[in-house]
Structure 1
Amino acid sequence: MSMLTPPGMGGKYRITGTAYPRMRRPRRRRRLVLAAVAAVAVLGLGGWGTLQLIDVFTGGGKKTEAKRNTAAAACEPKTQVSAAPLPPRPGQITVNVYNATPRSGLAKATADELRKRGFAIGKVGNAPVAYDKKVPGAGLLLAGPTAHEGRFRVLATQLNGTQLKTDTRTTADIDLILGTAFKTLTAKPASDKALGALAAPPKPAARC
């Protein structure tokens, strides 16, 4: 038995040789590495959570609120900043009816029909020399510079294919000069529908 064999131990526990067997050191290094990795992970999560809290209290909340307000504003009806004024009613428009064609009685018949449709009628007769037999289309609407604000649009609903022209008059009346291509006024149901579209205010459009 070797001197290295502890008392009472023999057989397979017998130690032979003249040196003690080398004993492995505990695997503390691996545990230390794992502990360090875990600590880094915990610190990283803690730092991320702290940044989130700082973002909420210093500005992140404002950004989120701004996004919500933008989304809500997108779903609100979009209205015109300055809506155009409603056009005048037919009864507020005085129409002078002139016949620039070779057909007789055309101005009177047209004026009578416009009166039935609610327009105020002024002068009725043959067209002035400057326009007599010189209007090739269905008709010409002639009025002062402010007629474009509504009077032209209203009277144009009664006759398709009219031309628009302004002169230097300061009165609010408007001339309807019947041209060579004139046959009849626009059918009343169609003209009433067009007038209704002019009088209806624009509807706001919602976008979401």
Structure 2
Amino acid sequence: MGGQYRITGDKYPRMRPPRRHGRLVAAVVASVAVLGLIGWGTLQLIDVFTGGGDKPAAAGSARCRTKTAAAPAAQVKPQPRPGQITVNVYNATRRTGLAKSTADELRKRGFRIGKVGNASKQFDKKVRGTGILLGSAAAQDTSLPVLGTQLGGAEPRADARKGTDVDLILGDGFRGLTKQPAADQALTALTAPEPTAPTKKNC
């Protein structure tokens, strides 16, 4: 070639810029770092949505055991004692002396005795069963069940009385009070604590 510029020697001049290896290495390192961050973030999201591993589950189980171990205290049924109940004993049968002998036996068993005599016209000669337990509406769940332990098969009824005393009206089917051992057992069962419901697990 002629002119001002001449090629001398046995090497040709470079026609392209030199490769930049530094930038390529930096790009590779950056890509690896980004991929690592993406993978770590994915693992964190999986932990969040799956409950965070075994340790929280174990802690939850401990809380469940604590809740189920604490059972509520049993509730005792509030019932009056025989000495707190006044019983009027009436005879609605044709047999004489039945009201007095029954009242004497109830007194021995701890009940307070009020009036003793023949039943009123409303019940006289009209009670076919064992007897009738008569009291106020409030006595249906208190005094009458306690008295009922002494006379099986008696029919509880409510009237409009205001007092706390109750009536025992003896009927044609009456053959005597329940034997005292059985009556005592029934009275104990009546006042026994109520069973508690099982505690529900909330986990």
Give the match for residue 5 of structure 2: none
Amino acid at match of 1:165: R
Cα pair distance change 1:139/1:61, threshold 3 Å: same
Q: Structure 1 58/142 Cα, relative in aligned 2: closer, same or farther at 3 Å? A: same
Number of equivalenced pairs = 165
Q: How does 1:1-208 map to 2 (within 5 A)?
A: 49-51=43-45, 53-54=47-48, 65-66=59-60, 68-79=62-73, 83=75, 85-204=77-196
% same residue: 46
**Runs of 4+ in structure 1 displaced over 4 angstroms?**
42-49, 52-68, 205-208
Q: Secondary structure at the match of 1:132?
A: coil
CA distance change for structure 1 residues 119 and 57 in 2, over 3 Å: closer, same or farther? same
Could you tell me how far apart the structure 2 residues matched to 1:206 and 1:75 are? 10
- Name structure 1 gaps, 5 residues minimum: 1-41
Query: How much has 1:73 moved relative to structure 2?
Result: 2.6
Q: Give the AA of the match of 2:176.
A: T
CA spacing shift, 1:63–1:148, aligned 2, 3 Å: farther
Task: Provide the C-alpha distance between the structure 1 equivalents of 2:154 and 2:39, rounded to a whole number of angstroms.
Answer: 77
Consecutive unaligned residues in structure 2, runs of 5 or more: 1-35
| Shift in CA distance, 59/162, structure 1 to aligned 2, threshold 3 Å | farther
SS at 1:77 equivalent: coil
Query: Is the Cα–Cα contact under 8 Å of residues 137 and 181 in structure 1 kept in the other structure?
Result: yes
* d(CA) in 1 for partners of 2:163, 2:192: 27
